Amino acid sequence: MTKDARVQIDRIYREEYGRVVASLARRFGDLDIAEDAAGEALLIAVERWPVDGIPPNPGGWLTTTASNRAIDRIRRESLRDTKHQAAMMIDDPTPHEPTGLVEDDRLRLVFTCCHPALSPEARVALTLRLLGGLTVEEIARAFLVAETTMGQRITRAKAKIKAARIPFRVPDHDDVTDRLGGVLTVIYLVFNEGYLAGAGDDPIRSDLTSEAIRLGRIMRQLLPDDGEVAGLLALMLLTEARSAARVRGGELVTLDQQDRGGWDRALITEGHALVRECLARVAAEHTRPGQYQLLAAINAVHTDARDARDTEWSQVVALYDQLYAVAPTPIVALNRAVALAELDGPDVALSIIDGLALDRYHAWHAARADLLRRLGRSAEARSAYDAAIAATQNSAERAYLTRRRDHLVTPGS
């Protein structure tokens, strides 16, 4: 098999993996069977497709092949006679739709992965594995843990789903709102893991940001009238639009210094349209926007300015005021203070930041360092830069902070 053929098969498999697993999980009610059968279908595809050609509906082919393998496995396991009979009784004539049209099976699986009975870490890992199609090795590398540790985490999560008899379905109408918040949180954590928490020589994990955006698009298709779903997708798109300009020469480039001509205007246009839709819905329904809609609106203000000097900082601060009312966290207060510095000066912002209990958070140290630098308090700024450098593993951010520290002007020098 040629390298190009294997790359094409791998791409199709990753795109279809979540749909295949979701379909099998619904049908057989067992994640292990679903995963194993999907893996067997890939091996058969690798063997047959280079000879027979890729079928017109590769997702349908993979689902049918995996379903047959799952039934074969159940037949072989004599202790599962009841499950075998139940599986054979299922008549599911609905054809598998090509990638692009999202079915409810994937929504069922997303909500199962994000069940409140599972820990937040397990929710993220399981979502990446079953919906994103990432390998255990990829997920472990993203979260800086050993592959065996991550494998055990995923195995325990699947075992808990089985033991607790967590159903493969969308929650009832009465509790869907609570579960949806957990789903959106997981998707955003996946995105941030790729965009902000990369380590070593790979400061931005585009594979993770792409997976999060893809999951966000799925949620948008499934829940088109939900403002927070639209807000989260807009937030990720507007953030991702700046990624190409965020690192240069191995060093982080802050928002005010980025080459805005390098931003992805198509993503910005799409993100702005979603923000406008959210604002129109809020106005029509006389409701308050949620945190993702407000974060998206803040990013829309930044990406609307052709030059950093054109940023409407009063609007940014006003949006952070609304955000803090919805999500009164120290990190929101920190970001609001950074924006406030552009209106009222670094001394006002520093007094706010110094009152926040975030001394373990690298961005808190970095913000303090910059404000102290602007106030001419170089010795204190140097210490704050040192603390920020020690608190981050992101190579690009460390390079940026180190340069800023080394360029401090020491009094008397």
So where are the chain's domains? 3-89, 102-223, 227-323, 329-413
Q: Quick one: tokens of 155?
A: 């195995």
pLDDT at 84: 53
Statement: residue 55 has pLDDT above 50: yes
Mean pLDDT of the chain: 86
Instruction: Average the pLDDT over 349-372 and give the result.
Output: 95
Lowest mean pLDDT among 32-41, 70-79, 226-235: 70-79
**Which pLDDT band holds residue 136 (cuts at 50, 70, 90)?**
confident
Three-state DSSP class for 407?
A: coil
CA 311/CA 243 separation, integer angstroms: 19
pLDDT at 79: 54
Instruction: Average the pLDDT over 344-372 and give the result.
Output: 95
Instruction: Average the pLDDT over 38-57 and give the result.
Output: 90
**Which pLDDT band holds residue 172 (cuts at 50, 70, 90)?**
low
pLDDT at 135: 81
pLDDT at 36: 92
Three-state DSSP class for 117?
A: coil
pLDDT at 176: 67
Among 34, 32, 43, 33, smallest CA distance to 10 is for 43
Statement: residue 99 has pLDDT above 70: no
**Which pLDDT band holds residue 398 (cuts at 50, 70, 90)?**
very high
CATH for 329-413 (2.60.40, 1.25.40, 1.10.1740, 2.60.120): 1.25.40
Residue 197's Cα: distance from chain center in Å? Answer: 12
The answer to whether the CB of 374 falls within 8 A of the CB of 346 is yes
